[in-house]
Structures are given as structure tokens and as C-alpha cells.
Amino acid sequence: MLIRRAPDIRYSEVTPKALYMRRREFMQAAAVAAAGAAAALSPAGSRHVHAQNGRTKLPNVRKSQFSTTEKLNSYEDITSYNNYYEFGTDKDDPERNAHRLVTRPWTIRVEGLVKTPATYDIDTLIKPYAFEERIYRLRCVEAWSMVIPWIGFPLADVIKRLEPLPSARFIQFTTLADAKQMLGIRVPVLDWPYVEGLRMDEAMHPLAILAVGLYGEVLPNQNGAPIRLVVPWKYGFKSIKSIVRIRFTDTMPRTSWPVANAREYGFYSNVNPTVDHPRWSQATERRLGEFFRRKTVMFNGYGDQVAHLYSGMDLRRYY
Amino acid sequence: MTGFRIFRWSIFASALVPAAALVYWTFTGDLGANPIEFITHTTGTTALSLLVITLTITPLRRVTARNELIRLRRMLGLLAFFYACLHMLTWVVLDWFFDVASMTADVVKRPFITMGMMTFVLLVPLAATSTAGMIRRLGRRWQQLHRLIYVAAVTAVIHFWWVEKADFRQPRLWALALCVLFGFRVWWSLQTRAARTRDAFTFLKDGMLRRG
């Protein structure tokens, strides 16, 4: 008897990526490519290299010892299923709407308890750092997860160069909130702009990175271009996107989700299977692309590296 | 009359479009990065839509004075139940794969799941007594029993409201729709009660006049 087996390859992997791209995205990609080519020809040069498919490749990316060897989620999954409420609250809204975001020129205001408050152009800010690929698990508070190959550099390196004052105990990040580029801002779903924060020792941890790319290419807008935070041991909403402001403070920042609903979200928001969200269990998660749920692991599996940050803290209270 | 039959069939066919689309997208691989969530959401919102549409039939019939509309009510109610069953099956089979312990814990601990389960349980007797034979057998009690649809509509909207994290625009819209539909019924019953009182008063007055 002939036993037919489904090929061990997914539909999304066999179809050429270019076919997926809708016209608008194609036009946008073409514009990015043109800009990339222009930058490459300019005397200043550019780190961006124009890739064949219209997206922009990031060269000289080093591997990292912090990367997981788990199976990656597809580029399509990572770029079509996003929580980025500034572009709409449905998962496919960001992919549809984020093309309106202009990511160059882009400046980041650094302020608060820092030696020299200043506004930096993004390319100046990121220039000193070598890009690393960090393949991290991302666990969303909604009980789904992905494995994503980010490109970025340690947040700690940036903080050291910015020279915060010794009195700085927290770092606060703010996302752009421009209703002209971000249609979702018109709806008061959250108290815009989106704000996130970390304790300084969390921010200085080598696992915390600022990402500017994924899958070897420049970060797509819906994933938080041009620059975002990635903190893999915390729920996804801590990893704030499209950062325009960094503030060093001595008080705990009032971050967006606890402001919206303090009973359901805390400042720390470490991945913790034993502390349930009041409305759903955090004990299991669905890795996108898999049928069966998996057990969620404390600190999203990064406990060996980060648990010491919270020694002596009651994580049921400081959720 | 044939025109109405065509109308009825086209409503039936369009109500099946979401289910057909889900089947089609399953084969084309277009259910998105999280197919189970997408199926859950689609079957749930379709069930709620059909439930609310079912509740519009009686007001529509009164406003338009077209009594044949009543013949749509049972069909729409059963279609709503069909999607509620799909929604439930998605949860049991695709989301939890018969993990009874986890599902029971969720029903007990998670208010939004409690509400969803309650809605489903309320709809079961309504679907079960929807046949002509049952309507005949239950008589007056059939009507009393089928008032449960009002409770089910409320629990369904609460269920939807409590699922949402921050964007309550859709559940708010459904709650508003229910308010309008219930408001119509309250207004209507007050009208008829007032008319009945008026009739009774006229009757008494007539009687006294006759006696006097």
C-alpha cells in the first residue's frame, strides 16, 4: 500500500516571499531599496546593503552565544502577527498600516538623570556598535510565543556611553505617538504615548538589547522600526517599539499597561507560569506554528541568567 | 411568496459564508500566523452577530407589519447555535485538545470563560426545543423558555467584553445594539399595557353607563 506523507515543509516556506508582498508593500520596499542605494552611493557610505528582494540586508552580523537553537518562526509569522496598537488593535493591522511610518530621519531624545541630555540622530547613536544576531524566544502576555532572530546590540553598551548619573535607578522609554503616521493613535485604547521601563540592573543585563533588524535585514516598521527594545525574559509588551525618548529617573516609570489596568499588569512583568493573568492562565503557551500548547518556563527559560536580579523579591507581589 | 423563499435561502447561504471561508482558508493556508485564534474569533463573532440578528426579527416584524419575517427567526437562531457549537468545538479540540482538567479550571477560574460556557448552556435547550412538535407540546411554556435568549445575548456580550484587553469598541457596539433591541421591547410592552388599561377602563365606563 502506498502511504502518502505530507512533505515536511510548510506552505509559507515554499512560496517565494516576493509573491506574498502586496502591491503597497512592494512599492514601499522599492522606496526603501532606492533610498538604500542612494545612501550606498553617498560619500558618507552606509551600513545598509540593498538586498535582492527589495528589503535591506544588514551586513557583518555576528552570531551570539545567547541565541537559542530552537526552530525559528517564519518571517511571515513574525511580520504579520503583531501587537502594535498605534497601528490598530488587530494582529494584522500593523502589517497593513505601518508603511505610513517614516523611520529616517529619526532622532532619540536622551534626558533626565544623565550627564549630558541631548537629542541624537539614530545613525549617530548606533554607529559605534557591532550588530549581533540574537535568536530569542518571545512570550506574549496573551499566551502565545515565537522564536525570532533579532539583530541588535546590548542596551548596556548604549547606557554606558550615555553616562547616567549615579542617582538614576530606572530607565524609561517612549514610543513615537504621531497620529498622522499612526492611525491607531486616534483611538484612546491606551494613554498615548506608549511608555515602558526597566530597573537599571535589568537594563544593564547582557540579554537586554536594542534591535534594529530581524532575519538579517532592517527591522520592518510593524516590528518596531527603526529601533526597539528586546527583553526576552519579560512579556512581549515590555519590549517597546519605535523609541523616540530615553529618560533616566530615580522613580519607577508609570508604564502604559499598569496605567491602563493596574490589577492585571505590573511594572516587572517577568514571564512567570505561576502568576496567572487575572483573566487567563499563564501556565501554558502556544508556540505559533505548533498545535499543542507548551508549558511556559519561568523567566521564559532565561532563569539561569536573570533570576539573581530578583532574589529576595516576592514575584507574586511584584508581578 | 416565492420571492420570500429566495430571500430566506439567500440569508441562509450568506450566514454560512464565514464557515465556508474558514474551510477554504484552511486549505489555502491563509488562516494567518495563529490559525486557532483566528478560527476561535471568527466563529465567536459570527455566533454573536447571528444571535443579535435573531433578536431583530420581532421588532422588524412589528415595524414593517410583515408577518412572514417570523419564519426567519428559528433559522437564524439555529445558525447562531451552529456557530456557537463550532466556537465551543474549537476551544475543546483545537485550543485544548480535550485537556479536561485545564478546561474545567478555566471555566471555574476565568470569568470570561464562565460567561461563554453559560451562554452555550443557555442556548442548548432553545435549540433542542426548536422543532414544531416541541413548540406544540410545550405550549405557553415554550414562549417562557425561549425568553432565555435575552439572558444568553447578555452573557454573550459580557463574554466578548471580558475577552478584550484594551479595545472595547466592538463589545460596546454589541451592548448598544442589545440596549436598543431591549428598549424597543420594553417600550412596546408598556404601549400594549397602556392600551389594555385604556380598554379595561373604557369597558368599565361603558358598563356603568349602561347600568346607570
pLDDT tens by residue, chain A, 319 residues: 455 554 455 544 444 444 444 444 444 444 444 444 444 444 444 455 544 456 899 989 999 999 999 999 999 999 999 999 999 999 999 999 999 999 999 999 999 999 999 999 999 999 999 999 999 999 999 999 999 999 999 999 999 999 999 999 999 999 999 999 999 999 999 999 999 999 999 999 999 999 999 999 999 999 999 999 999 999 999 999 999 999 999 999 999 999 999 999 999 999 999 999 988 899 999 999 999 999 999 999 999 999 999 999 999 888 9
A189·B166 Cβ contact <8 A: yes
* CA distance to partner chain B, nearest, from residue A81 (Å): 6
pLDDT at position A271: 98
**Distance of alpha carbon A127 from alpha carbon A210, whole angstroms:** 13
Quick check: B167 and A144 CB within 8 A?
A: no
Beta carbons within 10 angstroms of residue A18's beta carbon: 11
Spell out the residues 6+ positions from residue A67 whose beta carbon is closer than 8 angstroms to its own: A133, A134, A135, A136, A149
| Contact check, Cβ <8 Å, B166/A190 | yes
Give the per-residue pLDDT at B195: 85
ipTM of the complex as predicted = 0.85
Q: Give residue-wise pLDDT tens across range B95-147.
A: 999 999 999 999 999 999 999 999 999 999 999 999 999 999 999 999 999 99
Cell of A217: 535585514
Task: Sketch out chain B's domains with CATH numbers.
Answer: 3-211 (1.20.120)
Which amino acid, B190?
Answer: L
Find all residues with CB under 8 Å of A39, minimum gap 6, and list them.
A45, A46, A48
Tell if the CB–CB gap between B97 and A292 is shorter than 8 Å. yes
Find chain A residues with C-beta within 8 A of B29's C-beta: 11-12
> Using the beta-carbon criterion (under 8 Å), do A11 and B162 form an inter-chain contact?
no
- A42 to chain B, closest Cα gap in Å: 39
Cβ separation B32–A92 shorter than 8 A? yes
**A235-273 residues labelled b (16+ CB within 10 A) or e (exposed):** bbbbbbbbbbbbbbbeeebebbbbeeeeeebbbbbbbbb
DSSP for B68-117 reads GGHHHHHHHHHHHHHHHHHHHHIIIIIISTT-HHHHHHHHHH-HHHHHHH
**Contact between A142 and B165 using a beta-carbon 8 Å cutoff:** yes
Say which amino acid occupies B196: R
| Residue of B97, B110, B166 with shortest CB distance to A279 | B110
CA separation for the pair B142, B129 (Å, rounded)? 8
Buried b (16+ CB within 10 A) or exposed e, A282-295: bbbbbbbbeeebee
What's the CA gap between B119 and B151, in Å, rounded?
8
- A contact residues 146-205, partner B, Cβ 8 Å cutoff: 187, 189-190
The nearest alpha carbon in chain B to A82 belongs to B33
| Chain B positions in Cβ-Cβ contact with residue A292 (cut-off 8 Å) | 97
Cell of A264: 492585571
Q: What is the pLDDT of residue B157?
A: 98
Measured distance between the N- and C-terminal CA atoms of chain B, rounded to whole angstroms: 53
Q: In the structure, what pLDDT confidence band is assigned to residue B79 with cuts at 50, 70 and 90?
A: very high
A286 close to B (CB below 8 A): yes
Measured between CA atoms, how close is B171 to chain A, in angstroms?
A: 13
Which domains, from first to last, does chain A contain? 12-310 (3.90.420.10)
Is the Cβ pair B166, A89 closer than 8 Å?
Answer: yes
Q: Quick check: A113 and A165 in contact, CB under 8 A? A: yes
